[in-house]
Amino acid sequence: MENPFVRKMERHVRLAPEDRAVLDGLGRQHVRHVAARQDIEGQQSDPSHTHLILDGWACRYKQFPDGRRAIVALLLPGDLCDPFVFRRAHMDHAIGALTSVTVARIAPDQLGDAIRGRPAVEECLWREMLATTALHREWIASVGRRSAIERLAHLFCELHLRLARVGLADGMTLPMPVTQPDLADALGQTSVHINRTLKELRISGLVALRSRRLTIRDLDGLMERGLFDPAYLQLS
Amino acid sequence: MENPFVRKMERHVRLAPEDRAVLDGLGRQHVRHVAARQDIEGQQSDPSHTHLILDGWACRYKQFPDGRRAIVALLLPGDLCDPFVFRRAHMDHAIGALTSVTVARIAPDQLGDAIRGRPAVEECLWREMLATTALHREWIASVGRRSAIERLAHLFCELHLRLARVGLADGMTLPMPVTQPDLADALGQTSVHINRTLKELRISGLVALRSRRLTIRDLDGLMERGLFDPAYLQLS
DNA sequence: ACGACGACTTAACACAGGTTGGCGCACGTT
DNA sequence: AACGTGCGCCAACCTGTGTTAAGTCGTCGT
């Protein structure tokens, strides 16, 4: 069974069997479990390795001195925590597990070795980086100019696409293992208001959320409500 | 006189004279002027070149169907509009001139040629990319979890650092050639509220803003007010 | 079956920030 | 000098979202 990373990368470019094997190998070594609400990487650290999420959800977040938390990105299975490690950058944020998570530790030169002589691998890693920064931009636009209900609708559309890409969406229903306070910190709101907004989406027949699974009842309606345009994810 | 791009890059790594010359050369060809409020790159285009800002301010923005505009990044002299062109990505946003702007058009392979055989150049371009994504993260956190006055204070601190880095800050005063509606779209607020907030910062003696120039009267106070931690800009 | 715990839900109230609209200044044009 | 225009500034009012504080529900361990 291939890991979700390979499945995602194949969406970017056509991979030869050896390319696939190399990428798959990255996710098979140094597998580690992290409990929910534990940090995978602290806010002040100088990480020497990167992590590949194999299972569970994590997030990139910034914690303010007074306790406020801003989640600046959600990390799903198949996502690479920090493709830049080999530049030995200092962390300006933390990476935390939202659910219990399994990750593979990857040393910087393993990534370098994987790329060397394999243009397709390099290409798909680049494309992945492009998609990630496009996602960042979309989040800034979302928090800056979308209303509460638009934001939530937009996020659900985004997650649907991202999870489908790694084979984790079952048609129109997807896992949604995070709490409402988590969603609030990701969308720049309070959990109470997330709850209100969720109710509104439910009443208008766009989604259903039960026992940590989200079902999209009306994808077109949801996309319209969230001003969602799938183009930005660069799925060539 | 060196262009601002070179000055910024030198902050990342030590450059040999030939490295400097190569970077400087990038800003000397195909110089073009763009009038204020004109697009440098449209929202639907497939850009074949990148642009280096030599003078004036521009922004990366997304326009919503109903007219709302979200500015997701400010581009200052020395900033590269899109270092990724060589991956032929589709634009998911536009780049617009906020003031009148002079740019240099750069072809994808010119960048490639500049890097080839010059590890220092490659290194500083990487570092620049890291700093840019760190900036994106900080903006998400800002719009998501900072109050109006914190956001504005934080932005002013950021601009002070970024402009100083390219030699455009005159001690504690810096050019601020954008209108209040522009600031509003960058910070996810209305121009009226920007105005209120500006007044508050002025009254508390933190800044003064007159004839398109901002003077920071109390940098420590401003940093504290905006929860500003300069570490994220990765100025090694 | 019971209690405990965590997460969800709701209601009442408060307030930060949005909306609308008007005034004035600086500057460029004629 | 008169006029137009773009921008800063301000006040009155309004509303979306935050705050606080109770519940309620589901799950798990005993």
At B147-160, the pLDDT tens digits run 999 999 999 999 99
| DSSP collapsed to 3 states, chain B | CCCHHHHHHCCCCCCCHHHHHHHHHHCCCCEEEECCCCEEECCCCCCCCEEEEEECCEEEEEECCCCCEEEEEEECCCCECCCCHHHCCCCCCEEEECCCEEEEEECHHHHHHHHCCCHHHHHHHHHHHHHHHHHHHHHHHHHHHCCHHHHHHHHHHHHHHHHHHCCCCECCEEECCCCHHHHHHHHCCCHHHHHHHHHHHHHCCCEEEECCEEEECCHHHHHHHCCCCHHHHCCC
At residue B47, the pLDDT reads 84
The answer to whether residue A143 neighbours chain B at the CB level (below 8 Å) is yes
For residue B236, what pLDDT is reported? 58
Q: Is B70 at the interface with chain A, CB within 8 A?
A: yes
User: Counting Cβ atoms within 10 Å, is residue A229 exposed (0-12), middle (13-18) or buried (19+)?
Assistant: middle
Spatial distance between the Cα atoms of B39 and B69, rounded to a whole number of angstroms:
14
Q: Which nucleotides of C are covered by protein (CB under 7 A)?
A: 7-12, 16-21, 27
Q: Would you say residue B188 has pLDDT above 70?
A: yes
CB contact under 8 A, B145 and A68: yes
What chain A residue is nearest to B137 in terms of C-alpha separation? A72
- Asked if residue B1 has pLDDT above 70, the reply is no
- Find, in chain B, the residue whose alpha carbon is nearest to that of A61: B141
What is the secondary structure of A22-89 as a DSSP string? Answer: HHHHHTTSSEEEE-TT-EEE-TT---SSEEEEEES-EEEEEE-TTS-EEEEEEE-TT-BS-TTGGG-P
Here the tokens at position A34 are: 């992290």
B195 touches strand C (CB under 7 A): no
Q: Using 50, 70 and 90 to split pLDDT, how confident is the model at B210?
A: confident
pLDDT for A236 equals 58
Hey, are the CB atoms on A188 and B143 less than 8 Å from each other? yes
Question: Which residues contact residue A184 at a Cβ distance below 8 angstroms, ignoring those fewer than 6 apart?
Answer: A190, A191, A193, A194
Distance from CA of B149 to the nearest CA of A (A): 15
- Contact between chains at A130 and B84 (C-beta distance less than 8 A): yes
Checking each nucleotide's C1' against the CA of A36, the nearest proves to be C6
Buried b (16+ CB within 10 A) or exposed e, B56-93: bbbbbbbeeeeeebbbbbbbbbbbbbbbbbbeebebbb
* B187/A137 Cβ within 8 A: no
Q: How many other CB atoms are there within 10 angstroms of residue A98's CB atom? A: 20
Residue of A nearest to B92 (CA): A232
Closest CA to B166 of B29, B12, B39: B12
Q: Which tens digits make up the pLDDT trace of B7-44?
A: 999 999 999 999 999 999 999 999 999 999 999 998 88
Among residues A37, A30, A70, which one has the least CA distance to residue A56?
A37
- For the CA atoms of B140, B143, B146, B149, the dihedral, rounded to the nearest 10 degrees, stands at 140
Q: Is B81 in contact with B95 (CB distance < 8 Å)?
A: yes
Query: How confident is the model over B162-173, as a mean pLDDT?
Result: 95
User: Residue A83: what pLDDT?
Assistant: 67
**Residues contacting A147, CB < 8 A, separation 6+:** none
Kindly state the greatest CA–CA separation across chain B.
54
Q: Do B87 and A130 touch (CB under 8 A)?
A: yes
- State phi, psi for A155 to the nearest 5 degrees: -60, -45
**Which residues sit opposite A34 in a β-bridge?**
A101
Long-range contacts of A107-113 (CB under 8 A, 24+ apart): A107/A48, A107/A49, A108/A48, A108/A49, A108/A50, A110/A26, A111/A26, A111/A50, A111/A83, A111/A85, A111/A86, A112/A86
Identify the H or E element spanning A212: none
By C-alpha to C1' distance, C18 is nearest to B190
Q: How far is the CA of A120 from the C1' of D17 (A)?
A: 47
Q: Mean pLDDT across chain B, nearest whole number?
A: 93
Task: Determine the Cα–Cα distance for residues A95 and A84; give it in Å rounded to an integer.
Answer: 14
Are the beta carbons of A139 and B138 separated by less than 8 Å?
no
- Which chain A residue lies closest to B230 (C-alpha atoms)? A92
* Tokens describing residue B52: 């280096």
Query: Residues B58-75: what's their mean pLDDT?
Result: 96
Mean pLDDT value of segment B99-104: 96
CA of B155 to C1' of D17 (A): 24
In this structure, is the CB of residue B180 within 7 Å of any atom belonging to strand C? no
Q: Which of B12, B135, B140 to mutate to test the interface with A (most CBs of A within 10 A)?
A: B140
Residues of B in contact with A145 (CB under 8 A): 64, 68-70, 185, 188
pLDDT for residue A235? 63
Amino acid B229 CA to nucleotide D8 C1' distance, rounded Å = 31
User: What single letter denotes the amino acid at residue A65?
Assistant: P
Residues 105-144 of A with CB under 7 A from strand C: none
For the purposes of burial, counting CB atoms within 10 Å of the CB of A227, is it exposed (0-12), middle (13-18) or buried (19 or more)? buried
pLDDT at A1: 62
Which of A66, A111, A140 has the most B C-beta neighbours within 10 Å, making it the best mutation to test the interface with B? A140
Judge whether B21 is closer than 8 Å to chain A, CB to CB: no
Residue-wise pLDDT tens for chain A (236 aa)? 678 999 999 999 999 999 999 999 999 999 999 999 999 998 888 888 899 999 999 999 999 999 999 999 999 999 999 867 667 678 899 999 999 999 999 998 898 899 999 999 999 998 999 999 999 999 999 999 999 999 999 999 999 999 999 999 999 999 999 999 999 999 999 999 999 999 999 999 999 998 899 999 999 999 999 999 998 887 65
| pTM as predicted | 0.96
Range B205-222 average pLDDT = 94
Q: Are B101 and B68 in contact (CB under 8 A)?
A: no
**Phi, psi of A27, rounded to the nearest 5 degrees:** -95, 5
Residue nearest to nucleotide D20 (CA to C1'): A192
Contacts with B96 (C-beta within 8 Å, 6 or more apart), sequence order: B37, B38, B39, B40, B58, B59, B61
